[in-house]
Amino acid sequence: MQSDTATPQSPQELAAGLRQAGYLPGASTALVSFLAIKLGKPVLVEGPAGVGKTELAKAIATYLDRTLVRLQCYEGLDEAKALYEWNYRKQLLRIQTESQQAGWENVQDDIFGEEFLLPRPLMTAIASPEPVVLLIDEIDKTDQEFEAMLLELLSDFQISIPELGRIEARTQPVVLLTSNNTRELTEALKRRCLYLWLDYPTLEHELQIVRLHAPELDETVARKLTEIIHQVRELDLKKPPSIAESIDWARTLLLLGAGDIDHTTFTETMSVIVKHRTDLDTVAARVGVALQQADASAA
Ligand SMILES: Nc1ncnc2c1ncn2[C@@H]1O[C@H](COP(=O)(O)OP(=O)(O)OP(=O)(O)O)[C@@H](O)[C@H]1O
Ligand SMILES: [Mg+2]
């Protein structure tokens, strides 16, 4: 099995590479990703929505210059959609074009060959001649049977197909699994993975991320935006704003040409960062009113 051990040489080097790919990793993100690449172990990335779990996999793929193979998980996802499926139509055609004398034995050997397989993301990642980055996104949406199926793949990087035997990985993929923590994953799965908890970033870190995504936004506005986002997160909300909302808000303010976040601007745009009726009321009452008072005392 080939593995790409040439790059990177340190977590710092990886962090710099990810930054170039447009992703600003925290220290633990850089360290765990570095270990994942070097040790060839999958990483389980958990954390709230919109904190950069999916984006991390994309950035690692860009940095390593590898193809990103993505399996988006959902309830009811099965092997046929995740692993492989037999191409029944092609098999049927093959049987029909076979002469009458060929006999079932011959045809059977033939139609259960690789040529008649439809590879799905997991198989694609395993069989790829070039090493890839495999993203198994939102694994918590699947059930425990699916997780059990993944175990063989994650520990041995191989897949068993009853009619064909074992398919072993030719190259070592970097594997990232993400979870929003909607259900507890099995211990067996966790044991095979490195673990990364991605939380909301610190104020300074988030400010850098916002400035990276909206470089034209004035720095004082960007700072105020980040401070407000952090205040809003302190409130007891159904859905606190994530980095995704901070970035959307920064872009909104840019589009509107806002030079400051005063009470009016805030009330007009707060639905970009808060998306529940009751949360809107809470935020308007707490943060909105504070801004109004600040505006009044500045005037
Ligand atoms: N460290 C970071 N550096 C740069 N951009 C980031 C970072 N973290 C998050 N982002 C940006 O935040 C947005 C949300 O990230 P992403 O979609 O990866 O979140 P997620 O954790 O996968 O969310 P979900 O659980 O909803 O799928 C993206 O636009 C991403 O570019
Ligand atoms: Mg995601």
Nearest alpha carbon, ligand 1 atom 9:
52
Mean pLDDT of the chain: 91
Shortest-distance Cα residue to atom 26 of ligand 1: 49
Which of 103-112, 113-122, 171-180 is predicted with the least confidence, judged by mean pLDDT? 103-112
Distance (Å) from CA 8 to ligand 1 centroid? 23
For residue 50, report the distance from its CA to the centre of ligand 2, in Å.
Answer: 7
Pocket test for ligand 1, best of 32, 54, 60 (most atoms within 8 A of CB): 54
Highest mean pLDDT among 104-118, 120-134, 142-156: 120-134
Separation of alpha carbons 194 and 37, rounded Å: 11
Q: How many angstroms from the chain centroid is the CA of residue 86?
A: 28
Kindly state the average pLDDT of the residues 194-202. 97
Mean pLDDT is lowest, of 142-146, 149-153, 239-243, for 149-153
CA of 295 to the centre of ligand 1 (A): 32
- Atom from ligand 1 closest to the CA of residue 243: 12
**Out of 44-48, 63-67, 191-195, 287-291, least confident range:** 287-291
| The two structure tokens encoding residue 80 | 């046929």
Rama region for 103: left / alpha / beta (φ>0; ψ in -120 to 50; rest): left
Average pLDDT, integer, range 88-97? 84
Q: Which amino acid is at 54?
A: T
Residue closest to 47 by CA, chosen among 248, 232, 240:
240
Q: Which residue has the higher pLDDT, 166 or 36?
A: 36
Cα–Cα distance list, 271 to 174, 226, 265 (Å): 38, 16, 11
Kind and range of the H or E run holding 117: strand 117-119
Kindly report the length of the chain.
Answer: 299
- What pLDDT was estimated at residue 99? 67
Statement: residue 108 has pLDDT above 80: no
Question: 38-78, pLDDT tens digit by residue?
Answer: 999 999 999 999 999 999 999 999 999 999 999 999 999 99
Kindly give the distance from the C-alpha atom of residue 288 to the centroid of ligand 1, in angstroms, as a whole number: 26
> Which is nearest to 149 in space by CA: 189, 193, 179?
189
203-254 confidence digits (pLDDT tens): 999 999 999 999 999 999 999 999 999 999 999 999 999 999 999 999 999 9
Residue 4 reports pLDDT greater than 70: no
- Which pLDDT band, with edges at 50, 70 and 90, does 151 fall under? confident
Q: What is the CB neighbour count within 10 angstroms for residue 191?
A: 10
Instruction: Tell me what the mean pLDDT of segment 72-92 comes to.
Output: 91
Ligand nearest the Cα of residue 51 is 1
State in Å: Cα 141 to ligand 2 middle.
12
Res 167: pLDDT:
85
Average pLDDT for 152-167:
85
Q: Which of 33, 53, 55 for a ligand 1 pocket mutation test, highest count of atoms within 8 Å of Cβ?
A: 55
* pLDDT for 5 beyond 60: no
| 59 CA from centroid of ligand 2 (Å) | 13
The residue contributing the CA closest to ligand 1 atom 23 is: 50
Using CB distances shorter than 6 Å, the residues near ligand 1 are 23-25, 49-55, 178, 180, 209, 212, 243-244, 247
Q: Is the pLDDT of residue 98 over 80?
A: no
